[in-house]
Amino acid sequence: MTFILPCDESLHQSRGATVFNNAGILFAGDVVDSEFTDFERVMAVDFWGVVYGTKAFLPYVMRSDRGHVVNTSSAFGLMAAPGYSAYNAANFAVRGFTESLRQEMQVGGHPVKVTCVVPGGVRTSIARRAGHAVGVDGDEVARSFEERIARTDPGEAARVILRGVERGKARVLVGPDARVVDVVTRVLGPAYQRVLPAAMRLQR
């Protein structure tokens, strides 16, 4: 879903527009158990939705004297997790696309800021509406998300995002879990791929 917010003179001292590309669906399932169509559906919404929204409005944003493109990825775009390969792939792609776009705007000297939003667990219905591979308990996926992960209120998430956008940040981390993931991936690097499976095995 793409939102366009006009920026009046009281906010930015000049005319411009801010485009928010915020669409996402979740799919749970190991690679071996997932169908090609499962990956295609998640990529179509989570990644291509951002690309289409950006491409559709970027020419207008570039013509304004001060514009902003805001694309939503996920903490799963910083750290991959077993069982969520389709969602990970789409959100890593959104992050790469957005970071590349930000640099292109800088190289071209365009008055356009670009921000990648990285939410952790926000209390939305994404898990309840998630798709899942055969053998995956969808109700358990939703329950686990809502009880263990979704800690951030949507209103608070919106406030954090808008504050980061107003400051022109390249990346806006939403929620304490997103900040933890950011630190872990910076400190451990690829080694997190050994730590995370080990922790998951201990929980079983």
Please confirm, yes or no, whether 52 is among the known catalytic residues: no
Q: What is the pLDDT of residue 82?
A: 93
What angle (nearest 5°) sits at the alpha carbon of residue 91, between those of residues 146 and 110? 130
Pairing of strands 67-72, 112-119: parallel
Q: What is the pLDDT of residue 202?
A: 72
Give this prediction's pTM. 0.89
- Scanning the chain, the segments in alpha helix (DSSP H) are 9-12, 36-42, 48-63, 85-107, 138-144, 154-166, 176-188, 192-203
Radius of gyration over every alpha carbon of the chain, rounded to an integer in angstroms: 18
Cβ(169)–Cβ(115) under 8 Å? Answer: yes
* CA distance linking residue 104 with residue 112, whole number of Å: 10
Domain positions in the chain: 2-9+22-203
Alpha carbons within 13 A on the beta-carbon side of 142: 13
pLDDT means over runs of 10, the chain (204 residues): 50 67 94 97 97 95 91 97 96 98 96 97 90 91 88 95 96 97 95 84 69
Catalytic residue among 52, 60, 84, 87: 87
Q: How far does Cα 198 stand from its chain's mean position?
A: 26
The domain made up of 2-9+22-203 is a member of CATH 3.90.1200.10: no
**Contact residues for 72 (Cβ-Cβ < 8 A; gap 6+):** 20, 21, 22, 23, 24, 50, 94, 116, 117, 119
**Contact residues for 116 (Cβ-Cβ < 8 A; gap 6+):** 71, 72, 73, 94, 95, 98, 99, 102, 170, 171, 172
Q: What is the pLDDT of residue 203?
A: 67
Q: What is the pLDDT of residue 197?
A: 82
Number of other residues whose CB lies within 10 A of the CB of residue 65: 11
* CA distance linking residue 133 with residue 31, whole number of Å: 9
